[in-house]
Structure 1
């Protein structure tokens, strides 16, 4: 691969795509408006699972490709932030999952009495659980080791990047709404509470597709991440006190010791959902010489499909 590449967007999708391109020989720069800690990716609970993402068949393939990568990265968890952790998805049935589920090692239906409360069905597995601040720092470090660079820069149009590169890769998430522009982009607000971990070692989720309230907890190093919400069209970035209290209460129904855990922080992220699902395509805008590659619209599963989508996007670059 020859020529300069500018990847616009410094979240997990942008950094993973930039790293993939750099390790294939491209000279890559990432232009990011936000520091790694301010991106939606940094807020993610980051359990591998194809959640709120379309199109289903392609997303399943991207997710499985990413799962294989995370399995390898988990062998160096301290550096990569990726660990394999056991847990259960309550309210999920094996026969209700897509074909991808058959290729997830150890994924099984739960036995009677294995689930808490009134949940009658669920699936259990050891899955990648990713400490995003650590993982984003690792991605950046590996990108820089491959000759890439991350630059703090806000753009008003992709033409700014096209003036400096042969290839521009759009990994801007929700900002694609204005930059493309794409009026199919929708924010799905997620609020989280970080608490001191009272001894929880396994993750748990219970998501009702018809409700904006979900229940989950993820044991991350130094904290237990409690969630959550899936509020479509809500773009408030400040935490809501009543919502936070409800999150803690729901999680404490599953593990009562959570009720007394000391709160460490509140977090809000806006998932970049898109009508029609992920856009992965390339073209040359009228009047321009640069190739524009789109890789955005990953909803609540950016971490889950990051490597699969990065490789697909890199495959569009000659």
Structure 2
């Protein structure tokens, strides 16, 4: 267990790892991050990204974690360098009656039904809200800078076992994402392939998300200089290479929904494997004389859960 000023080792430099490291460093802990890839090459860098409700298990905890993240992201939106801003978000899909709204949906600020004329072409029912959008490349740089200002350090290093990690520090926080399938011997983790097409921003400031259970849907997230368009999900695909046919379908759907995007140039096609798990794992366990805190399995909700999970993981690490 942690003794006095012993360092805390965080494994992973995606949004979960960096946020947890920031929480620990700003609380006065000596923090070192080990990561196989720099932040800009992690799965998090490929995210859209938008704060939104999470329906993952454990439901009561994900509700709490999402609510905490909303508080943090709204505060971050006041910092221009963070890459976070609050925007109008239109969502296509039937909206439950007010008395039937699940608690996750009741978290959404300024939620209201909207008229069909407010929605993109091809969608007839939906809602409007104001929600935080996160420009992930800028945001990851911001988190890294905030970590360094708090005295934390990051080191490019592959970790093969948790035993190896505990030799470096008596307290280890495992934010390795899909890597936890091997590192924590967790076979319940599976990859879910996701892909976005990044366009220049032609002046778009309203985000859009289609609610759908289909493997492909329409969504776009405008940031200061770019628009991130999606979406696609392919469970249990291990190849993270971008799919050119899927990219073309994403472009066609988004440009049909928002004609402004017809004048936007394609900047990049980005893809990654989301770490999906039946239950988000935030818990501590003993490994020999060391404590290991796990914070992984967030699926496509890593950003939305990030601050809530990080704060709890940090508390477990110093307990």
Question: For this structure pair, what is the TM-score category when the shorter chain's length is used for normalisation?
Answer: over 0.9
- Whole-angstrom CA distance in 2 between matches of 1:303 and 1:97: 23
- Whole-angstrom CA distance in 1 between matches of 2:158 and 2:101: 40
**Does the alignment pair 1:161 with 2:165?**
yes
* Correspondent of 1:71 among 70, 74, 92: 74
Name the residue aligned to 1:35.
38
Name the residue aligned to 2:280.
278
Contact 1:207 1:213 in 2 (8 A): no
Name the residue aligned to 1:183.
187
- Whole-angstrom CA distance in 2 between matches of 1:104 and 1:251: 24
Deviations for 1:193-218, whole angstroms, at most 9, x for unmatched residues? 11122332100010311x11021011
* Correspondent of 1:152 among 156, 160, 174: 156
Instruction: Provide structure 1 residue ranges, at least 5 long, that are not aligned to the other structure.
Output: none
Q: How far is 1:280 from its partner?
A: 0.8
Q: How far is 1:103 from its partner?
A: 3.5
Deviations for 1:271-294, whole angstroms, at most 9, x for unmatched residues? 11102x200110112xx1110000
**Does the alignment pair 1:252 with 2:252?**
no
Contact 1:82 1:128 in 2 (8 A): yes
- Whole-angstrom CA distance in 2 between matches of 1:97 and 1:52: 13
1:88-107 → structure 2 map (5 Å cutoff): 88-95=90-97, 97-107=101-111
1:114-263 → structure 2 map (5 Å cutoff): 114-209=118-213, 211-263=214-266
Instruction: Provide structure 2 residue ranges, at least 5 long, that are not aligned to the other structure.
Output: none
- Whole-angstrom CA distance in 2 between matches of 1:113 and 1:165: 57
Q: How far is 1:260 from its partner?
A: 4.5
Deviations for 1:13-58, whole angstroms, at most 9, x for unmatched residues? 0000011111222111010100111100111001111356333332
Name the residue aligned to 1:293.
293
Name the residue aligned to 1:80.
82
- TM-score by length of structure 2 reads 0.93
- Whole-angstrom CA distance in 1 between matches of 2:232 and 2:107: 29
- Whole-angstrom CA distance in 1 between matches of 2:224 and 2:46: 14
Q: How far is 1:128 from its partner?
A: 0.6
SS in 2 for 1:205: strand
SS in 2 for 1:106: coil
SS in 1 for 2:37: coil
| Residues 52 and 178 of structure 1: CA distance in aligned 2, closer, same or farther (over 3 Å) | farther
Aligned length: 313
Contact 1:217 1:226 in 2 (8 A): yes
- Whole-angstrom CA distance in 1 between matches of 2:25 and 2:263: 47
- Whole-angstrom CA distance in 2 between matches of 1:232 and 1:9: 22
Q: How far is 1:144 from its partner?
A: 1.3
| Residues 197 and 303 of structure 1: CA distance in aligned 2, closer, same or farther (over 3 Å) | same
- Whole-angstrom CA distance in 1 between matches of 2:239 and 2:211: 21
- TM-score by length of structure 1 reads 0.94
- Whole-angstrom CA distance in 2 between matches of 1:163 and 1:249: 51
SS in 2 for 1:284: strand
